[in-house]
Amino acid sequence: MVRSATERRQLRVFKISASNWYSERDLYDWVMSLARGGDA
């Protein structure tokens, strides 16, 4: 789910040393949007 959300640009990602990093707030907002039944 995280990968597809990242690819659809629904979840902001930061590339650091060839790794994907997500802010805690962005992850929280995304999970809460899923809980509300949204797509993000």
Instruction: For the chain, give every domain's residue range.
Output: 2-35
28 falls in which pLDDT band (50, 70, 90)?
Answer: very high
Residue 13 has pLDDT above 80, yes or no: yes
Residue 6 has pLDDT above 80, yes or no: yes
| Mean pLDDT for the chain overall | 90
Please, are residues 4 and 39 in contact by the beta-carbon 8 Å criterion? Answer: no
Indicate if the alpha-carbon torsion angle 5, 24, 33, 12 is positive or negative.
negative
Burial class (CB in 10 A: 0-12, 13-18, 19+), 2: middle
Q: What is the pLDDT of residue 19?
A: 94
Q: What is the pLDDT of residue 22?
A: 95
Please, are residues 11 and 4 in contact by the beta-carbon 8 Å criterion? Answer: no
